Amino acid sequence: MAAQFPSTRSSSSHLQTTSKTFTLNTGAKIPALGLGTWQSGPNEVEKAVEVALRKGYRHIDTAFAYGNEAEVGRGIKNSGVPREEIWLTTKLDNPWHKRVTEGIDSSLKSLGVDYVDLYLMHWPSSTDPEDLKKHYPDWNFVKTWEEMQKIPKSKARNLGVSNFGIKNLEILLNDPTCKTVPAANQIELHPNNPSPKLIAYNTSKGIHSTGYSCLGSTNSPLYKDETLLAIAKSKDKTPQQILLAWGHQKGWSVIPKSVNKERVEKNFELDGWELTEEEVKKLDGLKGRFKVCGDAWLPVKVFFGDDE
């Protein structure tokens, strides 16, 4: 049975953010708000996932590379929320590009589930597992996607990519082996990395955008921004809530990360209010640019400035 979520209300969808969904090119509906688990420490994720699901979150995002799939799985089980009510996303790690079948099977086993709702290629980098500083000389992400397309829907309901800029998307989409357009592209999105060109490109190709590091990550310069702080104060909301509302109103899903119970719950309290058009424009106009996650650690460059 496919995961079912409440329909977006046409007249007041902006006031019902926590039940809002975005329809993917497959027809599946991804929840607008999820819990991210990147950089969550060991022995913290399990409780955070449980707290989030009990609060009402229905989208949990993880990855093989995070090393916490087993904890995420335990958190899901402990929450008591039926599996079919949860949208679960995980990702294929870079050194597993030649072992896609093993990769999805490993994740399913760790998570303790029969399927994931969305399986993403984490990075467009086919890394040699024998030397993580090297890229396979005879393999690339196009071949990885060719293999991902063979994954049975019984294991991965939807397929997508992550950290793909326009250049790499064009390489993928224009290759004759690409029979399935990615359902989603998970990318870094916040007012200091808004990526309007990439968002527009994703949209033009029917690819949904999900924003990670949507709060600007730990100790973000965003939290010193006077414009953001002023908007938060005027609406009696946290800066994090303002950033999440901004992302939703721009048209993408967001997966804020936190392991703090109060913050996890506070980030979910988005119903009944919205940002004005003027407030959205003010956030659009924030000065300064930074990326939380670059590509210097990868054996190949994946960001070419076209993701801005």
Please compute, for residue 180, the number of CA atoms within 13 A of its CA located in the half-sphere on the CB side. Answer: 20
Query: Binding-site residues, please?
Result: 122
Could you tell me if 55 and 78 are in contact, meaning their C-beta atoms sit under 8 angstroms apart? no
Identify which of 75, 5, 1, 10 has the alpha carbon closest to the alpha carbon of residue 37.
75
Query: Binding-site residues for substrate, please?
Result: 122
The radius of gyration computed from the CA coordinates of the chain, to the nearest angstrom, equals 18
How far apart, in whole angstroms, are the C-alpha atoms of residue 297 and residue 133?
Answer: 8
Pair of tokens at residue 108: 């399913």
Pair of tokens at residue 1: 């049975």
Residues 20, 145, 216: CA angle, nearest 5 degrees:
45
Of 57, 66, 119, 212, the active-site residue reads 66
Question: Which three-class secondary structure state does DSSP give residue 115?
Answer: coil
Residue in this structure with the two tokens 């064009």, named with its chain if needed: 170
Residues 82, 85, 86: CA angle, nearest 5 degrees:
100
Q: Is 201 a catalytic residue?
A: no
Identify which of 244, 141, 120, 286 has the alpha carbon closest to the alpha carbon of residue 187.
120
| CB-based burial label for 281 (10 Å; 0-12, 13-18, 19+) | exposed
* CA-to-CA dists, residue 259 to 160, 181, 254, angstroms: 26, 33, 16
Identify which of 19, 13, 34, 52 has the alpha carbon closest to the alpha carbon of residue 210.
34
How far apart, in whole angstroms, are the C-alpha atoms of residue 108 and residue 104?
Answer: 6
How far apart, in whole angstroms, are the C-alpha atoms of residue 259 and residue 114?
Answer: 26
Positions annotated as catalytic residues are: 66
